[in-house]
Chain A
């Protein structure tokens, strides 16, 4: 065996021993993924169930009562009949309803005249997300009611189009299906960046670096011996995540495993490069972990599109998301799980990840000094 290969192997083996003997790395690589997957898979759910909405009917006409029963019949709404608008205001303040609908007294009269009929929708703006749902549901019921009424009266459909939404790739619009690929990204970030941010700094802090530097090892051997074990750990963890997602959570996986392997390899290279870079520059475990948390982990949570939709962010923030590799990995993972091998998306993502990995590992090599000063 050539010298260089033997030294790399010897150092990698040492790193493996340290990983295996340190319960925290095993926890992070194998237990944390399962916990996260179950939290995102079962615990956290962004789908909305039935909502309590108040209804105040001030018009005694049949038209109004038919609209009221349309609301009552909606599968998304738990209707709370109320007598006066002031009662409704109290109910919303008390949190008893998420919003309320008032059918004004001139409702049927205006409808007959062909005017814009007055239906007031009040929502609880303290939770804007919920408020948007309330307004959308109410509008949906209203639109449907109008269609049915027009059909009964023999009138042509208003716009001539009936909208029937269909969600491709995730027909039931189950939030778990896009949260789980995102949570795998989080796990890879933790293993790649947080664990490795500690490893070089640890050698400096414990004084083992000084002894290592006095042996014939080269910079490349040293870096490889840090990259290889953590890459393998990351891959092992990815396998656990994949198996758990597909078997336990019933996630679809429409891409190929080869593509998954390729993208994961690239992302791990980015994350490992980042972790090792902060570790080599800061040479202090605490500082390095803090830095990795801020430049890798938090962006992976907030700016990757994993939970928070990138397209709904303000333009400057949206521009910033392009800087963080996690974004590209989230998009690749969601594509692979839900859509399949889409070369146009995957190739662009891979290209970026490759460039980022090259820059970060190159910088780490630059900052890895063969001397103490």
Chain B
């Protein structure tokens, strides 16, 4: 059998004037896991759809298992399993019914059927949930069910489009275990992902940017290029401020907060004197560390967005006011939906110019609390105030002072980018020249020019988020509410978001954010851990981590702290 399962030769795909893929040439070896990585809009989904025969190429050659997907689609579909990015199963059907449907469609019959269904259910650990409706499954279980359906026909080629988005860390690990086993059995796997720690797990990686192939090879090869260019500075105090200063140093192309330290990528393998003095100021040293794939990825894409936020430059300085100690105040906020208590006596205060994070598992009550604070939900009890304005009595006056970015894309999908900007600037009362100027500034700052006439529904996820942020800050609010702003966006865009957040905070804007990325929690000045409707812990990231530090784990990560604090709460609840 041919060792090459999929062969691409100068593959081109255009959508109207836009070229989604520009002459991609690559081979995919049988029985290997190939990671498909790249920023949003790079062409990952288009490539998978071409291979699955769901789109026809505009030019070039494509052979999958020796077949041409355009001409020999019927023969090909039997050999290819495809899992789309959007959950493609029927939510009103049970797990078993979905599996039966796909078994019938893929011609899995006879004694082999029961055997294979049982094996897949076991494999994906869904046996206990066969009668549950697919719509009632958690995100991780949905993805596993999607995978099981794609695997039913025992395909030779498995195409997975961002299978781990919105999946908790434990389920993600399980997905990988399953796919590894399959590849070991000779299956060719294409795994598209925007999580770069996953790219490191692949046998081979294809890195796409703007429809062009930037790198193809084992991830280690790319990472090796950065040997000696990655450093860490371990220091106490505000890591966010330290990072911001470090990113301003020429020669530093990327940086993130990592636990107790900041991690920086340098342009060259030489030492940067400014960095050493920066470290010395903080009473720390510059340590060289092993590069990760993420470092190499950002390097290949030309470095991170830098420490300067184009948005922050446009924002006016927020003047100090009488409510600086509690710009946002939650006093014993409770929300009941019928018998269900979504938020239970939540209290905290956020100071001016602070990044305050709400952290917690799905369904913990983060979004409910959040919505009460920006006047979208009326509390059942307690009081929510922004800048001293009670949201119950004068929500609209408060809303003029705050910017809100919803978790789900909540702009008008049918309107173009330009129309959305126009609409929201009008809603917030911008007029005449000020309005035109503001829109032009937003377009420039968020690089939206080329998407202006497109309907916002069709934008790549990262650009949707940018547009949503642009619409939320056009009226220069003093308080910014961001609900999961970086869920599902690629690392470059995530960095860019945090640069903007850090930038506007410097201008005195108060930011409240929810996130499920534990490393992002490190960017917050203070955190509240929400679990089952209650704040079970609050404080600075370091304070939370030190609460769980012990001899066995002297330096816990945010994720460790999170899991431990939740467990502790459960144990106490069990005792009480």
Contact = CB atoms under 8 A, between A and B. Distances in A.
Interface string B85-124: 1111111110001001110111101000000000000000
B102 to A, nearest CB: 7
Contact of A371 (B55, B149, B150): B55
Contacts of A373: 55-56
Nearest to A9: B104
Contacts of B105: 7, 10-11, 212, 215-217
Given A10-B101, A372-B54, A373-B56, A211 B107 contact: no
Contacts of A370: 73
B82 A10 contact: no
Contacts of B54: 210, 213-214, 371-372
Nearest to B98: A14
Contacts of B74: 216, 218
Contacts of B85: 207
A284 to B, nearest CB: 9
Interface string A175-217: 0000000000000000000000000000000111011111111
B49 interface: yes
Prevailing SS type, chain A contact patch: helix
Nearest to A216: B77
A373 B105 CA distance: 22
B88 A22 contact: no
A112 to B, nearest CB: 79
A210 B54 CA distance: 8
Interface residues of B, number: 37
Contacts of A22: 92
Contacts, number: 84
Given A211-B149, A216-B78, A14 B101 contact: yes
B19 to A, nearest CB: 15
A10 B104 contact: yes
A212 B93 CA distance: 15
B106 A18 contact: no
Contacts of B49: 372
A206 B135 CA distance: 12
Contacts of B104: 6-7, 9-10
B555 to A, nearest CB: 42
A210 B86 contact: yes
A344 interface: no
Contact of B77 (A14, A18, A207, A215): A215
Given A213-B54, A372-B49, A11 B101 contact: yes
A213 B52 CA distance: 9
Contact of A214 (B56, B80, B86): B80
B541 interface: no
Contacts of A21: 92
Contacts of B89: 208, 211
A18 B90 contact: yes
Interface string B536-566: 0000000000000000000000000000000
Contacts of A169: none
A3 interface: yes
Contacts of A18: 90, 92-93
Contacts of A9: 104
A42 interface: no
Contacts of A210: 54, 82, 84, 86, 88
Contacts of B88: 207-208, 210-212
Contacts of B255: none
Nearest to B87: A207
Contacts of B82: 210-211, 214
A17 interface: yes
A17 to B, nearest CB: 6
A63 to B, nearest CB: 75
Contact of A207 (B86, B100, B109): B86
B529 to A, nearest CB: 34
Interface in B460-490: none
Q: How large is the interface on A (under 10, 10 to 19, 20 to 34, 35 or more residues)?
A: 20 to 34
B491 interface: no
A179 B239 CA distance: 78
Interface in A271-309: none
Interface in A106-132: none
Given A14-B101, A371-B53, A207 B107 contact: no
Nearest to A14: B101
A216 B86 contact: no
Instruction: Select the residue from A11, A21, A214, A217 with max chain B CB neighbours within 10 A.
Output: A214
Contacts of B109: 6
Contact of A3 (B55, B83, B107): B107
A212 B98 CA distance: 12
A217 B105 CA distance: 7
Nearest to B100: A10
Given A207-B84, A372-B49, A373-B55, A214 B77 contact: yes
Instruction: Select the residue from A211, A218, A371 with max chain B CB neighbours within 10 A.
Output: A211
A353 B75 CA distance: 38
Instruction: Select the residue from B78, B86, B146 with max chain A CB neighbours within 10 A.
Output: B86
A146 B150 CA distance: 88
Contact of B52 (A7, A207, A214, A217): A214
A15 to B, nearest CB: 10
Nearest to A210: B84
Interface in A1-31: 3, 6-7, 9-11, 13-14, 17-18, 21-22
Contacts of A218: 74
Contacts of B84: 207, 210-211, 214
Nearest to B102: A215
B107 A14 contact: no
Interface in A29-50: none
Nearest to B92: A21
Contacts of B92: 17-18, 21-22
A44 B84 CA distance: 52
A306 to B, nearest CB: 34
Contacts of A7: 104-105
Contacts of A211: 82-84, 88-89, 146, 149
Contacts of A371: 53-56
Contact of A17 (B52, B97, B146): B97
A217 B104 CA distance: 10
Given A7-B104, A214-B82, A215-B77, A372 B93 contact: no
Nearest to B86: A207
Instruction: Select the residue from A11, A14, A212 with max chain B CB neighbours within 10 A.
Output: A14
Interface in A52-81: none
Nearest to A211: B88
Contacts of A372: 49, 54-55
B90 A208 contact: yes
Nearest to B54: A372
B468 to A, nearest CB: 21
Nearest to B15: A373
B92 to A, nearest CB: 5
Interface in A313-332: none
A215 B90 contact: no
Given A6-B107, A213-B54, A372-B55, A14 B93 contact: yes
Interface in A201-244: 206-208, 210-218
A22 B109 CA distance: 29
The 5 A-B pairs at the shortest CB distance, nearest first, are namely A211-B88, A10-B104, A207-B86, A214-B82, A215-B105
18 contacts: A6-B104, A11-B105, A14-B90, A14-B97, A17-B90, A22-B92, A206-B86, A207-B84, A207-B85, A207-B88, A211-B146, A212-B105, A214-B53, A215-B77, A218-B74, A371-B54, A373-B55, A373-B56
Interface of A: 3, 6-7, 9-11, 13-14, 17-18, 21-22, 206-208, 210-218, 370-373
Given A10-B105, A371-B54, 16 more contacts: A10-B100, A11-B101, A14-B90, A14-B101, A17-B97, A18-B90, A207-B86, A211-B83, A211-B88, A211-B89, A211-B146, A214-B82, A215-B105, A216-B74, A216-B107, A373-B56
